[in-house]
Every structure is written in structure tokens, then in C-alpha cells.
Amino acid sequence: MSDRRPLWTVVGLLALASLLLWASSLMTWSWTQHSDPLAGVVTTKLTGSEREAALVPLALLSLALIAAVVATGGLVRRIAGGVVFLVGVWTVWLAFDGANEVFSTHPDAYPFATIAAGHGIAVLAGLAVTLAGVLLVRSGHRMPRLGAKYQAPSQARRVSDPDRELWQALDAGSDPTASQ
């Protein structure tokens, strides 16, 4: 398996999670009815972002984590993977928080499927972020990092290809023909 495939998988999972969290924030998460003497039966609907204010910031955090994952490498990327994992667990917990209250007491004509879909999409987003965190902790140190091929010449490994050594000397600003 290529070293790049897990990195693109993590990026894809985080982008998908961001999109799912945003969609979930727009869906109905809570629905109640009560009778008002003047207005009759009043229906109150709360979207995901009204019920759980953290959904949109979590979607934006998932996008920001893409940049953090791509820009880091080694141990720092594994630590970022731990943060990604914790964000995923928090997202799953947030989707389940209060769901029992919403699903246990419901009025007639309750849109169960709509509300279950809103919570379910948030759970899927949380699972995607959690899986991305697991992949980063497990194999983040082996994934390529941004700018790895543009390292400073003193940090680069010694190459045995003479043509490449000439180009590296030119990149470093020296004349490779002066010593010959």
C-alpha cells in the first residue's frame, strides 16, 4: 500500500465529516407540540445547530484538522491524531446526548425519521473523525508530509546519483563544476 493512500483517506474522512456535521446542523433535532389557549397547537422545531451549538464549530474544526494533518509529520502528526480521535469521540457523544429524551417522549405525528436522520448523520460524522484519528495514531508517522521534498540541503539525505548531486549543488547556490 502506498504511503499516500492513508493520508488521502484521513483527509477524505475529515472532509466528509465536516460536510456531514454541517448537514446535520441544518436538520431537525427536536420537535415538540404544546397547546396554547390563543394559538391552539403550537409546534416547536429545533435544528441541530439550535439544539447543539457545537455542530457548526465542529464542522469547521474538522476542516482545520485537515490542514494540521497535512502540514505536520512524525510525532506531531501522531499527537494531532490523538486530538482528532478525541474530537470524533466528542462528536459521537454530542449526537447521542439528549437523544433518549427526544425519542422517549414524543407527541402524535412525531417526525421520528427526520430527527433520527439528524442525529444519525452526526454519529456518522463522529465515527469518520474517530476513524481518521485512529489511522493517524497508527500510521501517521509513515505518511508523507507537506514540503518533505523541499528540505534544506543540510537536512537532505546524501544521494548517490551524480546527476542529482549536481542539481542539489545548484539548488544550494554553489557551482558544481568548480571542483572538477
Q: Do 83 and 117 have their domain in common?
A: yes
pLDDT exceeds 80 at position 121: yes
Q: Do 43 and 75 have their domain in common?
A: yes
| Model confidence pTM above 0.85 | no
CA distances 72 to 39, 143, 145, Å, are 57, 10, 6
Where b means 16+ CB within 10 Å and e means fewer, 17-45 reads bbbbbbbbbebbbbbeeeeeeeeeeeeee
Q: What is the predicted pLDDT for the residue at 1? A: 47
Q: What is the predicted pLDDT for the residue at 141? A: 78
CA–CA gap between residue 96 and residue 118 (Å, rounded): 11
Percent of the chain at pLDDT > 70 equals 81
pLDDT exceeds 90 at position 178: no
The answer to whether 6 and 135 have CB atoms below 8 angstroms apart is yes
The answer to whether 27 and 48 have CB atoms below 8 angstroms apart is yes
Q: Do 96 and 171 have their domain in common?
A: no
Q: Do 115 and 140 have their domain in common?
A: yes
Return the minimum-mean-pLDDT range out of 67-71, 108-112, 119-123, 160-164. 108-112
Q: Do 132 and 161 have their domain in common?
A: no
Q: Do 116 and 172 have their domain in common?
A: no
DSSP state for residue 108 in the 8-state scheme: T
Q: Do 133 and 176 have their domain in common?
A: no
Backbone phi, then psi, for 121, in 5-degree steps? Answer: -65, -40
Q: Containing domain of residue 74, as a range?
A: 4-146
Tally of domains in the chain? 2
The predicted-structure confidence for 36-93, as pLDDT tens digits, reads as follows: 888 887 877 888 888 888 999 999 999 999 998 888 888 888 898 999 999 999 999 9
